[in-house]
Structure formats: structure tokens, C-alpha cells
Structure 1
């Protein structure tokens, strides 16, 4: 692990500078104590980094879980929420033991993209009050994540009214706008100008500027209030007081278990997606063992939940920064976790001078990357079969703040579309001859025909006119459900009454007017067959 220390050490410093503002910002977006984000970053670096099989992946609190965390904390309370984090970690370990590292492949990409887009929109909306310094308790004035529709509308109206009426902090607004400008300039222009701008990340520069702005403007018209700054414990004793432990008396609460399963599922999906993306970015093409990664993430979430931290996933922002900075082994992730501990112990006063508006600017960029307008355009261009499940996932999430509802509806719509296309593609009807009365009708069954296709096939057979000649081609059919064979059996009886001649073509041969389809396929009643 120490073979590439010369490359891992500088990479870990870059990752630390990226992770510090993100740990604080994601905790802010989650409605959790800011210190909980640092705990999750530390555990993600040291514990998960040590156990994981990924050489360049970096874990920590994830923006993709912010919406779930915010709703859960509001509903359960923080101590009960931590129980769900611990249980979610245990479920992830079970996923790993059961070798479910492939679960990400069972969710349509349209639903996963919809989930990430919805999360991005929610993050952006939730940062508006912090960006403009609205009131002493911005979260209370702009609570978007309520299930009732009117609360979402009223929250937006309150924000708009505050902006129009000038009920904002000029200092917070100025530092937020400048920080946002720094981030955009860094990512779009300066990062392409030289390696120094890649090593020194834009979020760090924005945070440093925010601290300088706070110090310089004290006592002036742009001075920031204390409640517009980061608040983390400033001493060892304060750290001990801020560490929160889970209330395991709530373990019998059904809502705790629902939250735990949601965290486990979403955290696992986000981790597996990140693993896939990270392995593609890795210039050395290392392959991460996904089942071991689930075990590592589960262990990290158990430890994080036990000491008051947020849930953890592998994170693409930190992982890509690690790759771009030359990280070669898991040591860079571990060292970045150690550096977070050092920052909490040695510079808490400096951390407490970071304006929340700067973190909001950082999260605006994070949210925008998750919910780019180009994503909507690309999904629309892919056709309605991709766009409809995508929007069915995004809209419920943004309206209700319920991520699980969005995923459930998107998945349901996706499954419905699959069934619809399966229904439509069960057969191909081909008519031969200019005059239907003396022409031929050829029906070719699909490769797999199940009971979902009963309605479509039955409709076509019943619509055949009398005195016609039907060729039924099953040469390409490898699986034929017994329900379909029963339909064909009934049709054989009806065909005699309607003077319809049937020619059955299969790999086994050709049969004119079969008396029994069941005997032809050598079936027993109520069974299925393979025609391969």
C-alpha cells in the first residue's frame, strides 16, 4: 500500500481540500449538524478506505442521500435516524454477503438518471435561503420537503417574496455570488490553464475567499451574522458533547426500518454507479470487487451511525479528484480521512468562519451537475420510452421530496412500458394477396410468447375473416407459454366452424390443420414448453 506514497500523499491533500467543503455542505443540505458531515467524511476515508477493494475510490457523505436524510431527520428525530443509518449499514453488509453487487443492473438507467436529477433539483432549491441569508433560521422559512403540495408552493412563494421585498442579507448574497463566480471560473476556464488549477480546487478557493470576506467585513455594512456561518465544535470537550449516539429504543419503529432499507438501497445503487464510473476513469483500469465494496460501505455506515455521522457512499467527485491528482492506492483515501481529523482538532476556529452562503454556492454547482438541462434534452431525444419513466421519477421527488416514491413510480412506469412493448411485439401479422378473400395470412410468433401476449394474439385470431388460409410460423419461437397454446387449441376448434385452414410451420416440420396443438408440442395440460 505504501509503494506509491509519493503519488498518494499529494493526491490525498487535493481530495481533502475537495472533501472539506462538501462534507459541511452536504450536512447543511441534509438538515443535519455540520459536524456529522465531517464524521462521515472521516469514516468514509479511514474505515471504508481500509476495507474497500477499490484502489482509487473515495467515500464520504453523498449528495444523493441528502433528500432522504432531510426527510428522515424531520420525521424521526436525529437519534432515531442514526438507528436507521446503522441498520442500513447492516443491510448493505447482507447485500455483500449475498453477492448482490449486481443489483444496480436491475434498475433502468432512465429511473437512476431521474433519481439523480431529482436530487440535484432539491439540493438547489434548498440552498436558496442560505445563499441569500434569509432570516435567522433559513430552513424553517423555506421547508420544501413536505408531502403536501401547498407547502412546496408556499415555500417557493416565501422565497420569491423575500427576494422581492429585500428581506435578504446583503453580505451573504454578495459573498455567495462571488463564491459562485469563483467556482464557475475555476471549473470552466482556469482548470484548463494549468496543473496548479487542478491541484488547488475551486471549492477550496471559494471557502478561503469566504473566510477572508467574513474577517474583512466585520463591523461594516456587509457583516455576516453568527447564524450565517458554519458551526462545528471548537474543542475536544465540545466534540464530545456534539457526538450523538443512536436511540436503539426506536428499533421497533416501522418507519426506522423503512428509512434503513431506503438508505441501504439508494446508498448501494449510488456506490455501484460510482464504482462503475470510477473504474472507467482509472487510467490503470483496476476493477473494483462490487460485493466487497458493499461490505465496506455497510461497515462504514454502521460505524458512522454509531457515533453520529451521516450515511456514506463512494462519491464520484472525490474519486475523480483522486484520479486526476495521480492517486494510485487506497492510502490516498485513508490519508484524506486523517487530514479531516486534523482539521477538526487544529483549525475549528477557522472552520467556524466559513459563510454558509459559500457552502450553498458549492452545492448549487453539485446540484446543477446532477440536474443539467442537457440531461432533460438527451432523455427526450432518446424517445418516450426513456423520457416518461425519467419524468415519472423526477416530478414526484421534487413535488413531495420522497425519493422512494419517485423511484417506485419511475420503476412502475418502466415496467408498464416493457409489458406494453411485449404485448405489441408478440406476433407479426403478414397478409399476402391483393384480395383478402383469396389471399393468405401469415402470423409469425415472437421468440418468447407469454401470458402477457394473450390479449393481442386472441384479438388477431378472432378478427380473421371466414374462408381464409392462415400460416402460423413458430420457427423462431423458443418459449411458448401454455396460456398461448390453450388459445391456439380453442382457435383450432373455431377455425373449423369458420372454414379457416391452418398451416403450422415449426422446426419439427409442417402440419396442415392440426387437430391438437397440445399433442403437436407434446405437452401436458397446464405446463409450459421450450421449442429450442
Structure 2
């Protein structure tokens, strides 16, 4: 696990600085004690990170659950009663993993997953604009478009522009310049600049700026524009920050309804994040979804027992981990220890970090998730990919995460139903058990993302040193999701010494480097045949 510590340690520092305000902000948005958000972050990092099968996913309190938590604390009669539902929700997630419910992750089209990542990137940028200018009326974790105080995302941005704090804005601009310079120039000049991460330098500069300008009435950063971590004066006061579940209410049906709701929503958010992070992973590793549900279930049960919020795998921290060069689960685990140690030993130092500096860090994270070039790329893939993508992005920006994904998925299903009306689809495997490890896979006339799970399972089960004959001569519609699976598999095949023979209308290709380029050439040379499989 510590083989790539030179990559994982710097990444864990970045994730720590991203996670710290999010843990506090989500707790505030949930109407829960601030310390409960930190407990969830620590449990998500150390415990879930250790048990998870994901190498680059990071778990912690999720903004998508904030509304559920806020409502449940009120209806269940207090935070201690709500913690019982968190513990039970974790147990239900463990049952989900035993029932192999993780397979649902394979049935979300890539256009929706990419839309989710892009939408979250846009949301991150929009939500950080007020903090960038020193306007911190609303918590960091408020990720919905319409907010509980009657404001919305864009009205908060206008309020921020009309209420600029000079000190917070100046250090935010300096921090953003440091991050861009570090990423685009310095990191390419020397290995030192890769070892010492730009976000750490930006945070140190933020603390120095706060100290040096504290006596200047114009440039000083006031306390409401700083990180706010609870400061325990002693071990006893630290224990006083902990809250424990009241198991006397376990017979209340409302507790069980809330527990099932938490388990269902947390599992769905986790599976969506797993699918998204696996796509972002430059090494194309596949996370075992049922193992992930088990890890999340254990994490939720322990978090509830210690007085923490529900946890899920979260895309903001996971994408920050990937973009910072994290290679293994060590980065997630170390970030959890950083949260634990910092809360216990240096809370006063943490409380000198300007929120505007953290906003600058998240600007970079959001931009890398929502690059303008991705919209152009999705447009060129065709309307069957572009429409669900755009609907998902708009749904997430103008409603919330789950509604946006639901809208994108609904549009994706409509597209597939239109194609299914025209063609049938199935998967056919031949010659699998003749003892020679020669497998023939014939793809049907129409292969969609509904076939994704079955094809991925068959490809992953191929033994080493085998020979695969992939016949696509009958195929007239091959979904972009399937092409991406085949492209990813070509890399895995090299590691398992699997030879691939691809048979198409154009002829035969041995071990093609890129399936996407192969199919494009196939269309160019066979224009008399109706092809649709570059979408």
C-alpha cells in the first residue's frame, strides 16, 4: 500500500485541505454538531479507506445527504436518536453488499457519469465564488441550487460581488496564481515542485497573510472568513464534543424508515462515485462494487456509534486525489489521519486558514472536472451521448445531484428505447469450454450500455494467456460505453497476455491499439453499410 508513498503523501495533503472545510460545512448544512462532520471524515478516510477496494476513492460526509439529515434530526427528536438510524443504515448497506446489489453501478451510461462529473465541477466553481470574495454567509456544503434561506446559487454570487472583503479576495487571487504557476510551469521544471504541492504552499501563504495583516483594518481577514474547527482545551473537553446514539428509540418505525433511506441514498451516491472515479483513474483499475458497499456499511455503523454523520464515497475529494497524483488507497487513509491529528493537536493553526484560499484550491478541482473541451468532445460523439450529458449537467446545476442524475438517466433510457424499437440486442458467447482458452465473442446487431455489465464480466473473467476472437460483423449499433470498455480492456489484455483478434466488415485486426480508431476507419471504408457505432 505504501509503494507509491511519494505520490500518495502529497495527494493526501491536498485532499486534507479540501476535506476539512467540507466536513465542517456539510455538518453545518445538516443542522448537526460541527464535530460530527469531522468524525465522519476521519472514519471515511481511515476505516473505509482501509476496507475499500477502490485505490483512489475518498469517503466522508456527503452534501447529497445534508437535506435528509437536516429533516431527520427534527422528525426523530434529536441528534442522538438520528445516530441510531445511521448505525442501522450501515447494517442495511452490509446486507446490500451480501445481496450483490453493487451490480447496479454498471447500468449507468457513461454520458450520465461524465455529466455528473462536469455538473459537480461547475457546482464547485459556482459555490466557491462567494468564499473567494470573502462572502461566507452560507455553509460550504450547501450544494443545492435553491437554498434554505431563500437564496439560490446565482443570487449568492451577486451578493458576494456586492460584499467583497478586500483581504480575503487579495489572498485568494495570490493563492490562485500560485496554484496555476505551480501546475503549469514549476511542476515541469523540477521534482521538488512535484513533491511540495502547490495547494500546501497556497495554504501556508494564506496563514502568513492572515498573521501579517491582522493589525491592518483594511487588509485583515476577519474570523468569519477563516476555517472554524472546534478547539478542545483538554481530553475531557474533547470527549465532551462526542455524541452517542440513543438505542432506546430503536423500536420507533421512523428510525427504520430513515435508516433505509440513508442506506439507499448513500449506496447510490457511492456507486455513482465509484463509476466516475474509475473513469478518471489513469490506470483504469476496476473497483469491486459489492466490497465498496460493505466498506461503506462498516463505516456508517462506526461513524454513527462515534457520533458522526453518514459517509459515502465522494467525488470532490476523490477527483482532488486523482488530480494530485494519488496512486493507492494510502492517500485516503493518510488524509484521515491528518484530519484526526490536526483536530487534536493544531486546531488553532487550522483556524488561521482563510476560506478564500481553500476556494481557490477548489476552483482548480472544479475546472479540471468541467473543462470546456469536454462539451465539444461529447457533441462530436453524437446526440445520443450529448443530450443525456447536457441534461445531467443542467439537472445537477439547477436542482441537486440525485435529481440531475435521474433526469440524465431517464433521457438515456428514452434514447435506448428508441434504438431498441429498431433493433434487438443480445450477447452471444461461443467455444468457451474446449480447454484451449480460445474464446469467441460475437456481438449482436445492437449493443447498448444495458449490455455493459455482462460484457465487462465476461472480459474480466478471461484467463491469462488466452485467445479472444471478437466478431463485430453483425453489429450496426455499438454504444460508446462498450467501445470504452473494449479500449480499456486492450490495456488489461497486455498485462494478462491475452491475444485479441478483431473481425469486422473491414477485415481482421490483431491486438488493435485503439478500438475507437478502428471503428472510425471501418466506417470510412464501408460507407455503403449503415454503421452507427462511433455514436
TM range (shorter): 0.5 to 0.7
Unaligned runs of 5+ in 2: 426-443, 447-473, 476-535
Residues 29 and 127 of structure 1 are in contact (CA less than 8 Å); yes or no, is this contact kept in structure 2?
A: no
1:233 aligns with: 230
1:440 aligns with: none
Do structure 1's residue 264 and structure 2's residue 262 form an aligned pair? no
2:133 aligns with: 132
Do structure 1's residue 112 and structure 2's residue 108 form an aligned pair? no
Do structure 1's residue 69 and structure 2's residue 75 form an aligned pair? no
Report how far residue 223 of structure 1 moved. Answer: 0.9
1:99 aligns with: 100
Residues 133 and 228 of structure 1 are in contact (CA less than 8 Å); yes or no, is this contact kept in structure 2?
A: yes
2:283 aligns with: 281
Residues 86 and 301 of structure 1 are in contact (CA less than 8 Å); yes or no, is this contact kept in structure 2?
A: yes
Please, which of 244, 254, 258 is the counterpart of residue 252 of structure 1? 254
Please, which of 199, 206, 213 is the counterpart of residue 210 of structure 1? 206
Report how far residue 338 of structure 1 moved. Answer: 3.0
Report how far residue 181 of structure 1 moved. Answer: 1.8
Kindly provide the CA deviation profile for residues 229-276 of structure 1, in whole angstroms up to 9, marking residues without a partner as x: 111122244433433446775861656643541221111221344356
Which deviates more, 78-87 or 116-125? 78-87
Return the alpha-carbon distance in structure 2 between the equivalents of residues 259 and 75 of structure 1. Answer: 12
2:413 aligns with: 415
Return the alpha-carbon distance in structure 1 between the equivalents of residues 287 and 259 of structure 2. Answer: 31
Residues 92 and 295 of structure 1 are in contact (CA less than 8 Å); yes or no, is this contact kept in structure 2?
A: yes
Residues 38 and 308 of structure 2 are in contact (CA less than 8 Å); yes or no, is this contact kept in structure 1?
A: no
2:193 aligns with: 197
Residues 24 and 35 of structure 1 are in contact (CA less than 8 Å); yes or no, is this contact kept in structure 2?
A: no
Assess, with a 3 A threshold, how the Cα gap between structure 1 residues 243 and 375 changes in structure 2: closer, same or farther: farther
Return the alpha-carbon distance in structure 2 between the equivalents of residues 320 and 423 of structure 1. Answer: 41
Which deviates more, 200-209 or 367-376? 367-376
- What is the DSSP-based 3-state SS (H/G/I as helix, E as strand, rest coil) of the residue aligned with 2:59? strand
Assess, with a 3 A threshold, how the Cα gap between structure 1 residues 331 and 259 changes in structure 2: closer, same or farther: closer
Report how far residue 152 of structure 1 moved. Answer: 6.0
Unaligned runs of 5+ in 1: 428-445, 449-475, 478-532
Return the alpha-carbon distance in structure 2 between the equivalents of residues 225 and 58 of structure 1. Answer: 35
Residues 124 and 366 of structure 2 are in contact (CA less than 8 Å); yes or no, is this contact kept in structure 1?
A: yes
Do structure 1's residue 223 and structure 2's residue 210 form an aligned pair? no
Residues 49 and 333 of structure 2 are in contact (CA less than 8 Å); yes or no, is this contact kept in structure 1?
A: yes
Report how far residue 408 of structure 1 moved. Answer: 1.8
- What is the DSSP-based 3-state SS (H/G/I as helix, E as strand, rest coil) of the residue aligned with 1:102? helix
Report how far residue 158 of structure 1 moved. Answer: 5.0
Residues 18 and 204 of structure 1 are in contact (CA less than 8 Å); yes or no, is this contact kept in structure 2?
A: yes
1:41 aligns with: 41
- What is the DSSP-based 3-state SS (H/G/I as helix, E as strand, rest coil) of the residue aligned with 1:243? coil
Report how far residue 410 of structure 1 moved. Answer: 1.4
1:358 aligns with: 357
Report 1:174-185 matches (<5 A): 174-185=170-181
Report how far residue 108 of structure 1 moved. Answer: 0.8
Kindly provide the CA deviation profile for residues 380-404 of structure 1, in whole angstroms up to 9, marking residues without a partner as x: 1111111111122222222223x22
Aligned length: 409
Assess, with a 3 A threshold, how the Cα gap between structure 1 residues 276 and 113 changes in structure 2: closer, same or farther: closer
Residues 52 and 293 of structure 1 are in contact (CA less than 8 Å); yes or no, is this contact kept in structure 2?
A: yes
Kindly provide the CA deviation profile for residues 353-407 of structure 1, in whole angstroms up to 9, marking residues without a partner as x: 1111112222222222222222222221111111111122222222223x22222
Kindly provide the CA deviation profile for residues 198-237 of structure 1, in whole angstroms up to 9, marking residues without a partner as x: 2222222211111111111102021111111111122244
Return the alpha-carbon distance in structure 2 between the equivalents of residues 10 and 252 of structure 1. Answer: 48
What is the aligned-residue RMSD (CA, Å)? 3.6
Q: TM-score, normalised by structure 2?
A: 0.66
- What is the DSSP-based 3-state SS (H/G/I as helix, E as strand, rest coil) of the residue aligned with 2:101? coil
Return the alpha-carbon distance in structure 2 between the equivalents of residues 381 and 369 of structure 1. Answer: 20
1:519 aligns with: none
1:432 aligns with: none
Report how far residue 121 of structure 1 moved. Answer: 2.2
